[in-house]
Amino acid sequence: MAQVVIINGPAGVGKSTVSRILANRWDGTINISGDALRHFAPANARDHLGAGSTYRAGAALVASYVEIGARRILFDYVFERPENIILFRSHLPLNVSVHVFTLWAPLETVVHREANREGRAPMGDAVATTFGAIQKNLKALGRVIANTAGPEETAQIILDVLTASISTNAVTENG
């Protein structure tokens, strides 16, 4: 069964960095950035494609990789509400397991990280906006992982959780 791992969190929390580390540690892992998908669409994509187009496009790309044999796919993006995850999942094949991790850090930490990212335009108010929206729904957005120690440690926590999950599923399926 293919495994889809959603790396969620507010803008600037470290989703892309943690996803890159995870992809490097898991041989053959597909790593999809929702931000990269948004670059394909026009600024007014909502007017032409409807709300949630990046979630739908991301799920379609994930589904395509599953169809050609990918076993593990990471998708990092901002999922502010449980409805965003439901929309994404509704466009995935039934034969995938989906794991949702929401990275979290204090707002001051996230603002500082975002302001100091190289090679990207500052996101300004979007950082606090996405932080607030996710904070309202935090308990309904998968497993929350503190991304305060650093991305290497955060990636290892996610790996440990997924390894335990796979072991538990194997015991359940075989026993």
From first to last of its 175 residues, the chain has per-residue pLDDT tens of 899 999 999 988 999 999 999 999 999 999 999 888 878 877 888 788 888 889 999 999 999 999 999 999 999 999 999 999 999 999 999 989 999 999 999 999 988 888 777 777 777 788 899 999 999 999 999 999 999 988 999 999 999 999 887 655 543 333 3
Distances (CA, A) of 77 to 59, 146, 166: 12, 17, 24
Rg for the chain, CA atoms, rounded? 16
Write down the domain spans for the chain. Answer: 2-174
Q: CA-to-CA distance for 113 and 122, rounded, in angstroms?
A: 10
The 10 Å Cβ neighbour count of residue 43 is 7
CATH class of 2-174: alpha beta
Give the bridge partners for 102, in sequence order.
Answer: 8, 144
101: phi then psi, degrees, rounded to nearest 5: -120, 125
